[in-house]
Amino acid sequence: MTSNLEYLEQNDPAVFAALKGEEERQRSGIELIPSENYTHAEVLAALGSVFTNKYSEGYPGRRYYGGQEYTDQIENLARDRAKAVFRCEHANVQPLSGSAMNQAVYLGLLEPGDTILAMDLSHGGHLTHGAPVSHMGKLFNFVRYVTDPVDGSIDFDQVRNDALAHKPKLLLCGYTSYPRDIDYAAFKAIADEVGAITMTDASHFGGLVAGDAMKNPFDFGFDVVTTTTHKSLRGPRGGMVLCKKEFASKIDKSVFPGLQGGPHMNAIAAIAVTLLKAQQPEFKQYAQQVLRNASTLATELMNRQASLVTGGTDNHMMVMNTMTSYGLDGRVAEEVLDQAAITTNKQIIPDDPNPPLRPSGIRIGTPAATARGMVESDMVQLAEWINTCLRNPEDQALLAKTRGDVEDFCRQFPVPGLE
């Protein structure tokens, strides 16, 4: 029988060639962007399934189209598994992305113009946490807290003062580029003092919470947790809003019909699969290994020449100041490492004097490398390559040789979903 991929090869060789090229890129290099990962073969199967053909506006048992007996099963499975994995009362698995899930929370629980207290973009917050260039930054009154210039910790005196002064309706913690864990109890105490809803954007570390390797905000009484499904959770691209029952109806109405139309049922099937995987003992081991690898890589980089924002990591990522470490801006550092088949991403650092496309740092993370089976001893080798390349950015022969070494090394580690 002809497989779907064989049809693609025969009938659209241009797309097929790009797909094969990307497969080989993912196989032969080391993926260190902290928000990327390798998903499971079962997730790829669900994503490429006939669920992509189906419209399912509404929710299980209350749809606007017929033919929903299997989509209802799938969405109920995904919701129930999400509630079990994250120990929460309600789950909405329909958001198409991380931005949509955060927008759904703000638009569902607040009124335009309401105040939200959240982390500043250059200190690690996400665009949807109120960056002035985002629509959310225009629609709501965001007040932004920053981190301590010396140790990178969150200054809770400042957060409390801002909360007392601005009376936010929502207090948001969570990050896209911050290498430390969160003091949920401290955030909750401040929110309670001013009557704010508590929300964590756990997109980066959702998988580490699911795997019990990092703290769960619901254990501290948080109201809402959002997470993308494709980062440390290792699922398809998508988002989830998890919340207490009292917010369930507002959240569901906000996602549909407030913000979105038809959910992507193939992605929801893949989220269900992802959450079954997240309940297995192997996933807990994976989550712990992600943290051990990050800790080792951070230490090994700092033992060489690297300066890391906050002086290390508590989670899966580190933010390297490439200007002070190597005299390179983040764009050049990213390009140098790309030449050696080591993929990172340029990143602004706290109060970065440089613009976002030429920032002062890069982000490095371990979820994808760990998914391939890399362990602490491999992190020592990665640190050595990263340091050597960034010390010698003009040495084309060295970069080419390192690329060969990296590709040989990577052959030992099968890529989930590909092999």
The distance of closest approach from Cβ of residue 98 to ligand DSN in the complex, given in angstroms and rounded to an integer, is: 5
Query: What is the SS3 assignment for the chain?
Result: CCCHHHHHHHHCHHHHHHHHHHHHHHHHCEECCCCCCCCCHHHHHHHCCHHHHCCCCEECCEECCCCCHHHHHHHHHHHHHHHHHHCCCEEECCCCCHHHHHHHHHHHHCCCCCEEEEECHHHCCCHHHCCCCCHHHHHCEEEEECECCCCCCECHHHHHHHHHHHCCCEEEEECCCCCCCCCHHHHHHHHHHHCCEEEEECCCCHHHHHCCCCCCHHHHCCCEEEEECCCCCCCCCCEEEEECHHHHHHHHHHHHHHHCCCCCHHHHHHHHHHHHHHCCHHHHHHHHHHHHHHHHHHHHHHHCCCCEHHHCCCCCEEEEEHHHHHCCCHHHHHHHHHHCCEECEEECCCCCCCCCCCCCEEEEECHHHHHCCCCHHHHHHHHHHHHHHHHCCCCHHHHHHHHHHHHHHHCCCCCCCCC
**Nearest to ligand DSN of 176, 387 (CB atom):** 176
**Nearest to ligand DSN of 96, 163 (CB atom):** 96
**Nearest to ligand DSN of 168, 206 (CB atom):** 206
Active site residues: 55, 57, 201, 228, 231, 237
The distance of closest approach from Cβ of residue 176 to ligand DSN in the complex, given in angstroms and rounded to an integer, is: 4
The distance of closest approach from Cβ of residue 127 to ligand DSN in the complex, given in angstroms and rounded to an integer, is: 7
**Nearest to ligand DSN of 356, 373 (CB atom):** 356
Q: Which residues bind ligand DSN (CB under 6 A)?
A: 35, 98, 126, 176
**Nearest to ligand DSN of 51, 106 (CB atom):** 106
